[in-house]
Amino acid sequence: MLEDNEHVTGSDHEITEWMVDLGVATGEMVAEVKGWTIAELLADEDKTAEAKSEWQSQMAGRPMLSDTAGVGQLKEETRKKQIGH
């Protein structure tokens, strides 16, 4: 470890100190977050078909973004997602 912060840089993780105060959780839990339940979804043909239909509906008319997408395209898609379109 560096003595007296000698030659300190942002990459000197040994002297980086992180403090996080998450406070006390308030309110009640309204739903349990399960994360991705893909196995459960794929095990049920009806749920799989419903999910596929929903995905196709959500993606209809949307451009396929790739690493060649411009900043404008990315911003527009982000805006659409934020307002739920």
Question: pLDDT: is 79 or 1 the higher one?
Answer: 79
Q: In this model, does residue 33 exceed pLDDT 70?
A: no
Tokens representing residue 27 in the block: 């309110």
Residues in Cβ contact with 59 at an 8 Å cutoff, skipping those fewer than 6 apart? none
Length of the chain: 85
Distance of CA 69 to the CA centre of its chain: 19
Mean pLDDT of the chain: 76
Distance of alpha carbon 53 from alpha carbon 69, whole angstroms: 26
Is the pTM higher than 0.85? The answer reads no
Span 9-22, average pLDDT: 66
Least confident of 2-16, 26-40, 54-68: 2-16
Mapping DSSP onto H, E and C, the string for 33-65 reads CCCCCHHHHHHCHHHHHHHHHHHHHHHCCCCCC
